[in-house]
Amino acid sequence: LSSTEDLVELNFEVLSSMKIAKGDIFWKKKSGKLIPLCFIGDRIDHDYISKFQKMTNVLWMKVVGNSNLVDEGVTLLKKITEASDDEQRFKVRDEFFNYLKPHFWSEEGKGNLVDFVTIFQEVFYDLSDEQEHFLENKSLVIFKRSYLCAASTTALAMCLGYVDFDFLKDLYQVNFYMDVGIEKSQFTTSTMNVLEKERVFPGARNENLSDAEKEVVEQHAFQSISKLEGEATYNFNNKSIKRLIKFHHERLLGDGFPLGLNSDELSDLEKIIIMVFQNITYDELSFTENDGSMFLKNFIGDADQGECEARLEQQIKNVFDKESSITAVGA
Ligand SMILES: [Fe+2]
């Protein structure tokens, strides 16, 4: 790394309020050499980063995100906490998606995924240090992916008409607990590779794994739910939200696991979870400039999933097209 032209100074005070790295973060040694401390999209390990304060007053960041865009999105989305009735909440929702559209829906969109993730994190993220610590002991890689899954799930649920803030906050948080049934020591490379292969080719999990690994993969959705009892778990307002964990590897065509349910047996919210988890890779996420273009539209790209899914997809499209009026859940 030779050039510092595209790096900006980052002082420790600004850094301390940042949860997710908005770009790769470096320590510049006296020799000028840049040492990477943290990569874009990572949850920032503040204990680790603060150690560098002894050696320098300032760190450097290669900025990808657009902080004005994030601030605007956060301001719009936060209005949902002030809205006094559903009519206002839907107004906030529509205004927010109108703002997202040119960046994360339109073909000419130039949104950054790190911004998308950061907006939802700033509005909905509610895990305590203790809860984070518990999750980190599972797997950091999964933690990073969870930010993207959580933002996506929450966005799509809002499209379907879920606008209650407490419910959305629960829904956001539950995404971090999907895989807690897998211990870090069980998160072998082969397990991770198999989860990724299964994601792309349903049924592939049955190849290339030892019986023990197979058992871990097959049972982890159930294990994750039972792990939520008594440990450092988020205090969900809506206790039944935990059931969603059971479905995160099911598939709309019935070829998922562990239950192999088909779409007639799944609720819309369960389908949202499935759409998100089958679309986001288990491989290392490396956010780049403009990688959010059409991100939200791509969730509904799959044709040929039957009438029921066409209805679901239409509901999501309607929010972006703002043509039909959408009724509240349960209305
Ligand atoms: Fe999983």
Q: What DSSP line would sit under 194-211, residue for residue?
A: HHHHHHHSTTGGGSS--H
How far apart are alpha carbons 193 and 184 in whole angstroms? 15
What are the C-alpha distances in Å from 62 to residues 26, 67, 161, 221?
8, 13, 37, 37
Using CA atoms, how far apart are residues 125 and 77, in angstroms rounded to an integer? 13
CA of 111 to the centre of ligand 1 (A): 27
Joined together, the tokens standing for residue 130 give: 């203790």
Give me the percent of the chain exceeding a pLDDT of 90: 64
Chain mean pLDDT for the chain: 89
Q: Which residue has the higher pLDDT, 311 or 116?
A: 116
What pLDDT score does 127 carry?
94
pLDDT for the residue numbered 151: 98
pLDDT score, position 190: 82
More confident residue, 143 or 89: 89
Q: Does pLDDT of 2 surpass 60? A: no
Contact between 163 and 90 under an 8 Å Cβ cutoff? The reply is yes
Q: What is the distance in A from the centroid of ligand 1 to the CA of 104?
A: 26
Taking residues 7-27, report their average pLDDT.
93
Q: Residues 6 or more apart from 88 whose CB is under 8 A from it? A: none
Q: Distance, CA 105 to ligand 1 centroid (Å)? A: 27
What is the band of 306 on the pLDDT scale with cuts at 50, 70, 90? low
Q: Is 10 helix (H, G, I), strand (E, B) or coil?
A: strand
In this model, does residue 110 exceed pLDDT 90?
Answer: no
pLDDT for 85 beyond 90:
yes
Distance 162 CA to ligand 1 centre (A): 24
Collapsed DSSP state (helix, strand, coil) of residue 236: coil
Cβ neighbours of 158 (radius 10 Å): 23
Query: What pLDDT is attached to residue 191?
Result: 84
pLDDT in tens, 119-143: 999 999 999 988 988 888 777 667 8
Residue type, 213: E
CA distance 313 to 316: 5
Q: Kindly give the distance from the C-alpha atom of residue 301 to the centroid of ligand 1, in angstroms, as a whole number.
A: 22
- Band of the pLDDT at 308, cuts 50, 70, 90? low
Distance 252 CA to ligand 1 centre (A): 16
Residue 326: the pLDDT is: 46
CA–CA distance, 319 with 93 (Å, rounded to integer): 9
Report the alpha-carbon distance of residue 267 to residue 137 in Å, rounded. Answer: 32
- Token look-up 């039972």 returns 226
| pLDDT score for 304 | 52
Tell which wins on pLDDT, 303 or 24.
24
Residue 302 pLDDT grade (very low, low, confident, very high; cuts 50, 70, 90): low
Distance of CA 66 from the midpoint of ligand 1 (Å): 31
Neighbouring CB atoms inside 10 A of 44's CB total: 17
pLDDT computed for residue 186 by the predictor: 82
Q: Which has more pLDDT, 225 or 303?
A: 225
Cβ(26)–Cβ(36) below 8 Å? yes
